[in-house]
Amino acid sequence: MKKILLAFIVLSALLSLSSAAAQPFSLSNGLKVVLNPDKTSGIIALQVFVRAGSAWETPADSGTASLAIRMITRGTKTRTAEELAAASEGLGVSISAASGEDHSIISLVCTAKTFPEASAILFDMLLNPVFPESELSKLKKVAISRLKAEKDDNFSYTLQRLKSQMFRGDSYGLNPLGTEENISAATSAKMADFYTKNFKAGNICVSVSGSFDNSEMFSSLEKGLSGIPSGGGARKLQSTIEAVTENYGSDKMKKNQAVVMTGFFAPELASADYAALKVLSSVLGGGMSSKLFSSLREKEGLAYSIGTIYPSRAKACAFIFYAGTRKENIERIKQGILEAAASAGKPGYITEKELEDAKNLLVGQFRLDHQTNEDRARYLGWFELNGAGFGYDAAYPETVKAVTLEAVSKAAVKYLVQPKTFVLDNE
Amino acid sequence: MNISNKIIGVAVAGVMLLAGSSLLAAQDFVKNTEAGKNGVTKFVLRSGATVLAKEIPNGLVSFQVWYRTGSRDEQDNNNGISHFIEHLIFKGSAASGVSGLSRLIEGRGGNLNGATSKDFTNFHFETAKEYFYVSLDGMMDCLSHPAFDAGEIEKERKVVIEEIVRGDDDPGRKLYEELFKLSYSGHPYRREVIGTKDVLEKLTRAEITAYYKAKYSPDRMIIAVAGDFKFAELLPALEKHFPPEEGKPLTEGLRMKASFTPGREELSGSYGQGYYGSAWLGPAADNADTYAMDLLVTLLGSGRSSRLYSRLKEKEQLCYALDTGYSTMRDEGLIYVTAELLPDNRGMFDKRLLEELKEICSNGVDAKDFARALAILENSYIFSHETDSQIAGDLGYNEAIISYKFGQDYLDNVRKVNAADLKRVAVKYLSGVPASVCLIPAGK
């Protein structure tokens, strides 16, 4: 048994470097499926991407997706939450559900051997959820505790505060966990409404990576998921960023560390400027050789964690500089970040060599981030559902390599304007 | 920078020199070769270092260096020095200059990092196979000839102090460190890996250099490599980074018996909710009870249908999150149960936890729960050996703690455990009074 299992492991890596073999299919109800077989790993990772998350919510119903998607795993017409957990965990697998901004994901990772049984449990959850009040009442308490615990994570807390400041009036400003008021008001009926509204074939993409044969996997998905109603899919997220928002905000808390974050409005994943900004983020704040790391950490010793984030989003989002520091260094960090942002587009600030290194880093990290079947399924579904198409996964390395210094400088000049800063200060 | 060119030059020269005499050179360089399972080969080098390698033709390579030294080997007056040294290695060698190593590896699309723990210090990179040897030379150069530049030490001292400050705000880390502090009175596991601000502010360059020389010697070094390379090329590439003289095998400090102190502590701070933890002393890595203990903690807290999770969280709703764990370490590690909860529930949670454990000590576990725990543990082993870095990490970590064979034989040994063993280890390790810590929001 063990030898066979380990043989799987050796071979699994053979095809691990790309998802170039991925192919799209449509189930009879129109549900999009992307299959990426490697046939040798012995593992199957299946991810159900649903176009639902806080970006689709309003202040009055924020947090609904987060609760509802978790409730999917908490009871079906024929099984209780306890029975569902016992069934999947008895196979040694877990089915997890989580929601973010643009989408929610229900994820299954199992061995090829357990896939028939494990996927049957997943399909039951996806088709027959009943949202029991008793389970909802438990999850509501957990959700409220999560909201309170956000204050215990300086980085997430500051990021959420910056986003709510930058995206006032836009759904990206909402907390994906919702508000205490919204969570308390959630009912089983609201969860069921969410399900009826969002679980339509056109709002869902299922990506699968691992040891299977395409035709067998297709039949299995057709059998399991064709019962999801057709429709949906026409929706697109609208950006409603207010032209004037506050440029500066801060909170004082009893903490040892201070956090500085400065954000700029930046375009969505499907934008022509996306790749250039990814490269810019790599130059300025990617890895240990980035400009911010070497100036503010290596040379001045001002921060331990420092860098930039530019997430891949379905609508206009933010390019963010961050640094964890101490009260006495806040001003110097703020100034250092603004200097880097203001200089980024100037001739000579980024050299050809730095650009080349940053592109290599970006492509290299991308490859290294595709080593497990779960990673590969996640990238395919993410790109497919959020506007770039699953094929972007295979095209990404070449797209990044083609980015020129001129394009990066232009993107810096165009987007790194009107900085918005939020500081978590110490009392 | 021209550093990278210089390193490439050295690598090319090395390969050419050895082309005609690689066998002979390898025989001198390698003292002992052992064929492990699943394509793993162990080489003990003349210098005393160990190499564990596995060829996987997938286009990538993970290279990891594990030193059998960490905060466990420190004293009160130099606590944190291992972690500080880990940071300083990335500040480069005399040849590479500051940031030379990260530019060398990241500029070619690789990633690199380090980690320090109680039992080990680790340095690693992953990269495409084309850049493996140039990256290896860069990392080995920094490890063999660290600059420990006085000016850079001063700058990095500030960065590490930032890291301490950051950690102080993290309740998860704080809980774990407080549990260790309370549990181990007479054993170095009580000290925090990151050290204290007071000690860090005073450490001198001379102390750092002397400590590095004493503790980061080839006899404590394990190199674990998994990915797209050839044994025949790896050994000559490593040879030039080791001293020619024969080293001695490591004999000191291999095992220190841990003593455990039960106790109870409450700390209040700026927390959004309560964080609870209880710990007991578990078996050390060289104890055959580790397999039964891994199964027991899985049965107790892994998954929604696990014993403690289903009862204390799902049914009785005494907490919002619950986790169980057992650290397999060189000396006796901790078995722990942690939870996030309303501060008001901490007393009841504590009472119910001890009742549940008592019940297992009296009545054992049922067959269905046992089968589920085994399935979860088997699968999590498979899912955590999918990438090169997971495979190299398993070899390096286990060799640093006890032996790489621990990982190779792990599933076989887990499968030999039966339900009665779980009752036996529960009685042996979990029937005593634990060390308990609770972090509570100020004013609660």
pLDDT tens over chain A, length 427 residues: 233 333 333 333 333 445 678 999 999 999 999 999 987 789 999 999 999 999 999 999 999 999 999 999 999 999 999 999 999 999 999 899 999 999 999 999 999 999 999 999 999 999 999 999 999 999 999 999 999 999 999 999 999 999 999 999 899 999 999 999 999 999 999 999 999 999 999 999 999 999 999 999 999 999 999 999 999 987 788 888 876 678 999 999 999 899 999 999 999 999 999 999 999 999 999 988 888 888 888 788 888 889 999 999 999 999 999 999 989 999 999 999 999 999 999 999 999 999 999 999 999 999 999 999 999 999 999 999 998 999 999 999 999 999 999 999 999 999 999 999 999 998 8
Contact A300, A328 (CB under 8 A): no
Q: Residue A421: what pLDDT?
A: 96
> How distant is the alpha carbon of residue A161 from its chain centre?
18
- Does a structural domain hold residue B368? yes
Count of domains in chain B? 2
Contact B324, B332 (CB under 8 A): no
Q: How far is CA A387 from CA A39, A103, A111, A150, A312, in A?
A: 29, 12, 31, 30, 10
**Domain containing residue A141:** 19-225
- Does a structural domain hold residue A268? yes
Three-state SS letters, B217-270: CHHHEEEEEEECCCHHHHHHHHHCCCCCCCCCCCCCCCCCCCCCCCEEEEEEEC
- Does a structural domain hold residue B229? yes
Contact B332, B282 (CB under 8 A): yes
A273 and A161 inside one domain = no
- Does a structural domain hold residue B245? no
Q: Residue B329: what pLDDT?
A: 96
Contact: B109, A6; criterion CB under 8 Å: no
Amino acid of residue B86: E
- Does a structural domain hold residue A5? no
- Does a structural domain hold residue A166? yes
Beta-strand relationship, B60-67 and B50-55: unpaired
B413 and B273 inside one domain = yes
How many Cβ atoms sit within 10 Å of the Cβ of residue B28?
Answer: 12
CA–CA gap between residue B197 and residue B179 (Å, rounded): 20
Q: What is the DSSP string of B181-200?
A: HHH-SSSGGGS-TT--HHHH
Q: How far is CA A317 from CA A168, A265, A266, A320, in A?
A: 12, 6, 5, 10
Q: Which of B332, B344, B352, B342 is nearest to B278 (CA)?
A: B352
Q: What is the DSSP string of A223-263?
A: HHHTTS--------------S---SEEEEEES-S-EEEEEE
Q: How far is CA B346 from CA A142, B316, B343, in A?
A: 16, 13, 6
CA–CA gap between residue B116 and residue B158 (Å, rounded): 18
Is B305 touching A (CB cutoff 8 A)? yes
Contact: A42, B109; criterion CB under 8 Å: no
Contact: B162, A9; criterion CB under 8 Å: no
- Does a structural domain hold residue B256? no
Which of A175, A193, A225 terminates a domain? The answer is: A225
- Residue of A8, A9, A117, A183 to mutate for B, most B C-beta atoms under 10 A: A9
Contact: B168, A257; criterion CB under 8 Å: yes
- Residue of A2, A111, A150, A283 to mutate for B, most B C-beta atoms under 10 A: A2
Q: Residue B254: what pLDDT?
A: 84
CA–CA gap between residue A285 and residue A412 (Å, rounded): 14
B203 and B267 inside one domain = no
Which of B223, B239, B255 terminates a domain? The answer is: B239
Q: Which residues contact B185 (CB under 8 A, 6 or more apart)?
A: B259, B260, B261
Contact: A94, B168; criterion CB under 8 Å: no
Task: CATH number of the domain at A419, please.
Answer: 3.30.830.10
A172 and A86 inside one domain = yes
With CA atoms as reference, the chain A residue closest to B275 would be: A149
- Does a structural domain hold residue A167? yes
Q: Which of B69, B66, B71, B73 is nearest to B52 (CA)?
A: B66
- Does a structural domain hold residue A6? no
B374 and B432 inside one domain = yes
Q: Which of B79, B115, B120 is nearest to B221 (CA)?
A: B120
CA–CA gap between residue A324 and residue A307 (Å, rounded): 10
The Cα angle at residue B416 between residues B415 and B417, in degrees rounded to 5: 90
Is B159 touching A (CB cutoff 8 A)? yes
Amino acid of residue A60: A
A256 and A218 inside one domain = no
Look at the block and give the residue holding tokens 């399900």.
A195
- Does a structural domain hold residue B248? no
Beta-strand relationship, A94-99 and A43-50: unpaired
Q: Which of A2-6, B345-349, B439-443 has the highest mean pLDDT?
A: B345-349
pLDDT tens-digit map of B61-71: 999 999 999 99
Collapsing DSSP to helix, strand or coil, A349 comes out as coil
B19 and B85 inside one domain = yes
A346 and A389 inside one domain = yes
B87 and B212 inside one domain = yes
Q: Up-side HSE of residue A317: CA atoms within 13 Å toward CB? A: 25
- Does a structural domain hold residue B210? yes
B270 and B367 inside one domain = yes
A211 and A267 inside one domain = no
A201 and A321 inside one domain = no
B211 and B298 inside one domain = no
Contact: A111, B379; criterion CB under 8 Å: yes
- Does a structural domain hold residue B246? no
Is B99 touching A (CB cutoff 8 A)? yes
Task: CATH number of the domain at B325, please.
Answer: 3.30.830.10
Amino acid of residue A284: L
Q: Up-side HSE of residue A26: CA atoms within 13 Å toward CB? A: 7
Instruction: Find chain B residues with C-beta within 8 A of A368's C-beta.
Output: 60, 110-111, 126
- Does a structural domain hold residue A194? yes
Count of domains in chain A? 2
Which of B204, B239, B274 terminates a domain? The answer is: B239
B21 and B130 inside one domain = yes
- Does a structural domain hold residue A13? no
A267 and A187 inside one domain = no
A254 and A215 inside one domain = no
Contact: B386, A371; criterion CB under 8 Å: yes
Contact: B378, A92; criterion CB under 8 Å: yes
ipTM value of the model? Answer: 0.89
- Does a structural domain hold residue B413? yes
With CA atoms as reference, the chain B residue closest to A373 would be: B386
B283 and B378 inside one domain = yes
Look at the block and give the residue holding tokens 């960023």.
A241
**Domain containing residue B42:** 3-239
B197 and B343 inside one domain = no
Chain A nearest CA to B250, separation (Å): 31
- For chain B, the average pLDDT equals 91
- Does a structural domain hold residue A11? no
Q: Which of A31, A28, A16 is nearest to A381 (CA)?
A: A31
B180 and B303 inside one domain = no
A133 and A258 inside one domain = no
A200 and A336 inside one domain = no
Q: Is the dihedral of CA B312, B318, B323, B326 positive or negative?
A: negative
CA–CA gap between residue A159 and residue A151 (Å, rounded): 11
Chain A nearest CA to B75, separation (Å): 25
The closest CB to that of A299, out of B58, B155, B170, belongs to B155
